[in-house]
Structures are given as C-alpha cells and as structure tokens.
Chain A
Amino acid sequence: MNHELLTALPEAPPTSSLAGAFKATLARDLRQALRRRSELINPLVFFALVITLFPLGISPDKALLATLAPGLLWVAALLATLLSLDGLFRQDLEDGSLEQLLLTPQPLPLLVLAKVAGHWLLTGLPLALMAPLLGVMLGLPSGAFGVLIASLALGSMSLSLIGAIGAALTVGLRRGGVLLSLIILPLYIPVLIFGAGAVQSAVNGMPSLAHLAILGAMLALALLLAPLAIAAGLRLSING
C-alpha cells in the first residue's frame, strides 16, 4: 500500500499552479512520513494501549464494555490524534522548511491544507480503519462497525484541521504539548459528541445518518475556516 501511495503521487512538479503546489506539499509530507515508519504507528499503538487500559481499569464485564465502547473508542482515537499533532509542524520548523513554505508564492492556507490532509491520511484514516478491531475486543456489535469507520474517518478530518490550529500556534514554544491539549480539547467536544453519538445510535439500531451529516457539516466549516487560522498561527510562530 505504501508503494502504491508513493507511485500514485507524482514527484514535486515544477509548475507553480495551485494544484501542483498542493500535490507537491502533500507528496513531500507523505514521502517523509513513510521514511520514518516507526513514528507512523505511534498513534495506532497508543490507540490500542488506551483501549486496553479501560477493561483493566473499569471491569472486564462484556455487557458494560459494550455500552461504553462507542465513547471509549472515540475518546481514545481523539487522544491519539491529539498526541500526533505536536509533531505536525515541529520537524518542518526545526529544519527550516516551514519558512520556505511561508515564502512560496502560493497561498499559505492551501499549502497548510495539504499538510493537514497528509496528517489525516497518516493518522486519522489508519485510526478509523483500526477501530473495528478494537471494537471487537470491547464487544461492540458488528452492525456498528461501518458507522464507526465512517464517523471516525469523517470526524478525524475535522480533528486534524482544528488541531492544526493549536499546533501552528504552539509550534514555536519550547513546551507546546500540554498547552496544545489545553487549547484544542475544548474545541474537539462537538466532534466527539456527534462522532460518538453516531456510533451509539448505530448500536441502538437507529439511523445514524443525521449524526454523520452533522459531522460532515462541521468538516465543511472547518475546511473553510481552519486553514486561515492555521496560516495566521504559522506566520506568527515564524515571525514572532
């Protein structure tokens, strides 16, 4: 799958078009991430570990775990996303490529969107695909797996976008990690409510399309506004 990804995305094209810049930024991020695979699985391992902690901390009772499962899976996935966000811009800041990104003639919000898309492809999507496995371990009814994947895939895109605002604001700070969670977690709450709600209603045998639609609406809003805030945050982190 990795190789397919690599070949499907073109090498950085020498065009100055918007789409070219978007693709080049995305391809660069993916290529870099795939060269450091051990870091790629960190959020996934974290996700699995946190889910392992809950039966140990609460009770191995299958019925109880099954009722808690939608919320547990969503909270754990959210924390895994949050954990991965601290590194979103840090590497680029340290090696100076973030400054180059700011200097390009293309609009910064677009390039930032490419970086966030890369983050989602490497964190949110794998988390969503892995969630049913952990759902099995928590005794989640198998009828809810489809909605679990869909809600996590949709919701984690919003999580990446909103979280990138915090990452951009704190990237210049020595101890940005704790601060990042303080400023981002309150903003994650709506996504959590509707994401976990979608899975919950699927478990209860009710239609969950309304929840997914609202998740989609949040994503649309985040796609519209978050890149601007991320770009402003990066500008101040570099220049300030």
Chain B
Amino acid sequence: MTADSDSPQAPARKVRPRKGGLWPWLHRMGAPATFFAASQRWLPWLWALAIMALVAGSVWGLAFAPADYQQGNSFRIIYVHVPAAILAQSCFMLLAVCALIFLVWKIKLADMVATAAAPVGALMTALALFSGSVWGIPTWGTWWIWDARLTSMLIQLFLYLGVIVLRGSFASRDSGSRAASILALVGMVNIPIIKYSVDWWSTLHQPATFTLSEAPPMPASMWIPLLMMVIGFYALFGALVLMRTRVEVLRRESRKQWVRDLLSPSSRARPDAAVVATEGDKS
C-alpha cells in the first residue's frame, strides 16, 4: 500500500490534523498532496522562527556576549561552527530515518525529503569544516590539523557526497533512491564506528560543548545565544528542506491531477511551482 493511494481521500475528508492521533496524521502526511498543502501552512512559522532566532542569537553572540578570557573574540565563531556541526550530524540521521521509512514502508515522500535534505546536510558539513579551520588559525596556528573531530567531519562530508552522487548515477529514479537509501543506512551504522576509531586515533579537539546530562561549562551569556543559534539553524534547516521537498514533490508528481489542478490558470499558482511545471513540460 503506497502513500499515493491515500491522496484522493485526504483532501475530501477535511479532518483537522489534530484529530485521530499521531499515527493516522503521519499516514495522511505521507501523501504528497496532503503534505504539499500542509507544508505551505508550516513554512511561514518556520521562517519566522529561523529569522528571529538567528538574528537575536547572532546579535547577542557577536556583539554582547563576553569575550573568552583565553581566545578573545575568535571564540565567537562557535556561534556558526557548533550549530552547523550539530546540524550536519542530525541531517545524516534524518537521511537514515528517511531511508528506513522508504525501504520498509515504501513511502515515497520520505525519499523526497532525503533527496532534498542531503545537499543541505553536505553544505552544513562543509560550513562546519570551513568555520572550524578559520577558527584554527588564531587558536591552533594552522588551517588544518589531523584532529579527530575534523577528520571524522571530513569523512562525513565524503559520506554525504557518496549518497548524493550515487543517487544521481542511476538512470531510473527508483533505483537511485533505493541505492542512496541503502548507502545512507550503511553510513549511519558506520558513523559511530568511524567517530570512535578516529577519536581513538588522535585527539586534540575539545570535548563536546553541549551534553544532555550537564550544564555547559560557560557563562549563560555565552551559551544562551549559542542555544538560540542552534534553534535558529534547526529552523532554517527545516525551512530549507521543506521548500526543497515541495519542489521535489511537484517535480515527481508533475503528471498527477492534483498538481495540474494546482497549476491551472484558474488557481493561485506560486511562482516557483510554475517554473517547475514548465521544466516538466519541456522534458
């Protein structure tokens, strides 16, 4: 039973999403049409949260947080570095979860989310690596050090690239999706092993800033903006992935009736949706 079989009934029933519990709600959301309509309502909230948290966090963190007694102002790069690094790892987890949902329950929307999220995750990994090496110049005196965390981040970037490239190299989209999903799951099993072996191999990097069990070892005026930046990055990531997923939904479902109805002149067509539709017509 695929997600598409739900799509005709979902708009007709007009049930509020809150009714019926989480599981039926998730099931309805698995239908691309329902997801497309619902995500349009979520997007403004996500963008608002992202912009508010990012602006507040970066102004507070960059201008008002006290300078570090050892590193001076150069420590402020953590307000970009740490959120990017956290996102880079969360995104791979998202890829693996989507891969599992796609392979087990054949819910195509999960694969669309994975397609949309992988490049954003790779970008976050690259951002974490770049900001880390910029921070390395004043602190360690070198752009690159074969330190455990840097190395495992670099390996993770390669894993992302592998997933993205593997998806693109199949002629049939379904094969590419399944191959990328299998590789994402294999990568997920391997990430902890890679992390621990690289840690074991060499370490210069300081331990994790945030742990769930203890309060962070820095003053609140330093970590509260950091927390805001992390929330902002998550919201930004969510908004970006959601938008990219919506485009992916339109691209894949461009022959379905609901997309045609959506894009017909009588309805209120969004500009980015129209671009996708013309692309689909040309091919």
Binding site for B on A (CB under 8 A): 165, 169-170, 172-173, 175, 179, 182-183, 185-187, 189-190, 193-194, 197, 218, 221, 225, 229, 232-233, 236-237, 240
Contact = CB atoms under 8 A, between A and B. Distances in A.
B162 A189 contact: no
Interface of B: 103, 155, 158-159, 161-163, 165-166, 169-170, 172, 174-175, 178-179, 182-183, 185-187, 189-190, 193-194, 196-198, 200-201
Contact of B183 (A183, A190, A193, A221): A183
Given A182-B158, A182-B161, A190-B190, A169 B166 contact: yes
Contact of A193 (B163, B175, B182, B200): B200
A185 B165 CA distance: 14
Contacts of A165: 182-183, 186
A193 B152 CA distance: 12
Contacts of B200: 193
A71 to B, nearest CB: 11
A186 B159 contact: yes
A186 B179 contact: no
B268 to A, nearest CB: 38
B170 A240 contact: yes
Contacts of B163: 183
Contacts of A183: 162-163, 165-166, 183
Which 6 A-B pairs have CB atoms at the shortest separation, nearest pair first?
A240-B175, A183-B162, A190-B197, A186-B158, A236-B178, A193-B197
A198 to B, nearest CB: 12
A195 B163 CA distance: 26
B12 to A, nearest CB: 34
B26 to A, nearest CB: 24
Contact of B158 (A185, A193, A194): A185
Nearest to B200: A193
Contacts of A175: 169
Contacts of A240: 170, 172, 174-175, 178-179
Nearest to B160: A186
A189 B194 contact: yes
A197 B174 CA distance: 41
Contact of A229 (B166, B172, B182): B182
Contacts of B170: 172-173, 240
B189 to A, nearest CB: 6
A167 to B, nearest CB: 12
B186 A229 contact: yes
Contact of B155 (A173, A179, A189): A189
A102 to B, nearest CB: 15
Contact of B194 (A172, A190, A225, A236): A190
Given A182-B162, A183-B162, A193 B174 contact: no
Given A179-B166, A182-B162, A193-B200, A187 B187 contact: yes
